[in-house]
């Protein structure tokens, strides 16, 4: 069940958030090591790309071996 928010409610909430300014209180890693670890936290792209490249190379080698035999 969703909660319907009136335009007035949305305006009040927006004003509260602007006064609160949570973006100014945001914290994050301070050290270089912490920043590096944080930056890599969501990184998953290379793994799939490397596996696809490996699969492609193995297919090419299998085809080359078939031609030699």
pTM (global) more than 0.85: no
pLDDT digits (tens, 9 = 90+) for 32-57: 999 988 888 877 666 778 888 999 99
What is residue 1's predicted lDDT score, i.e. its pLDDT? 55
Give the pLDDT mean for 1-22: 90
- Own/partner contacts of 40-47, CB < 8 Å, gap of 24 or more, are none
Place 27 in a pLDDT band, splitting at 50, 70 and 90: confident
Contacts of 37 (CB under 8 A, 6+ apart): 29
Q: What HEC string does 18-64 produce? A: HHHCHHHCCCCCCCHHHHHHHHHCCCCHHHHHHHHHHHHHHHHHHHH
pLDDT, the chain, mean: 88
Percentage of the chain surpassing pLDDT 90? 49
């Amino acid at each position: 069940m969703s909660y319907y928010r009136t335009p007035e409610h949305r305006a009040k909430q927006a004003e509260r958030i602007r006064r609160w300014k949570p973006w100014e209180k945001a914290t994050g890693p301070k050290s270089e090591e912490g920043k590096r670890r944080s930056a890599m936290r969501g990184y998953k792209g290379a793994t799939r790309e490397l596996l696809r490249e490996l699969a492609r190379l193995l297919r090419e080698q299998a085809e080359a071996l078939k031609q030699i035999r």
